Amino acid sequence: MTTSRYIARLMGPVMLIIGIGMIMGMLTEGDAYSSLLKEFIGSRALIFITGTLALVAGLAVVNAHNLWVPDWRVIVTILGWLLIVRGISNLVFPGTVQTLGDRMIASHGGILAGAAVTIVLGAILSIMGYEDLWNTGTRRHSSARASSSRKRSAKRPRRK
């Protein structure tokens, strides 16, 4: 398995679940979910911890996968660099991060748009990350069927 697929298998499902969780939170809890986000963005300690984690994750991705190619794998690299930028901005400019977060939370459309983008990226990464696994299972199943039909045909003598 390539590094691209390995990272996509990690990032894809996490992003997909986060995006689904954001939409489900907005649809089922509404204002309660928005107040949760306001509490989060109001805490500079959480912004600092999130920045540290984002910086570490971004550096790990970029160090393992700094690949600029014209296919889906560039998404992994771009997300790694965005994590680095996010981490640095959270650590260096926490007040600005709070202001931007407050603006985004004030608009339910902003949360839903962010969730939609997260779901799309998570789905793309999940599909591309697990594609070879699904194809291997299909090939294994079809090759087993083909070998069993060969065994059956080998037992029967041909008629002339």
| pLDDT value for 132 | 86
Instruction: Select the more confidently predicted residue: 158 or 115.
Output: 115
Sequence-distant (6+) residues with CB within 8 A of 65 are: 3, 4, 7, 73, 76, 77, 80
Long-range contacts of 136-139 (CB under 8 A, 24+ apart): none
Tell me the pLDDT tens digit for each residue of 2-52: 899 999 999 999 999 999 999 999 889 878 888 888 999 999 999 999 999
| pLDDT value for 151 | 53
| pLDDT value for 88 | 98
| pLDDT value for 149 | 52
Tell me the pLDDT tens digit for each residue of 39-90: 999 999 999 999 999 999 999 999 999 999 999 999 999 999 999 999 999 9
Average pLDDT over residues 119-138: 89
What are the boundaries of each domain within the chain?
3-131
| pLDDT value for 67 | 93
| pLDDT value for 104 | 86
Average pLDDT over residues 133-151: 61
| pLDDT value for 80 | 97
User: Phi first, then psi: what are they for 65, rounded to 5°?
Assistant: -150, 75
Instruction: Select the more confidently predicted residue: 160 or 83.
Output: 83
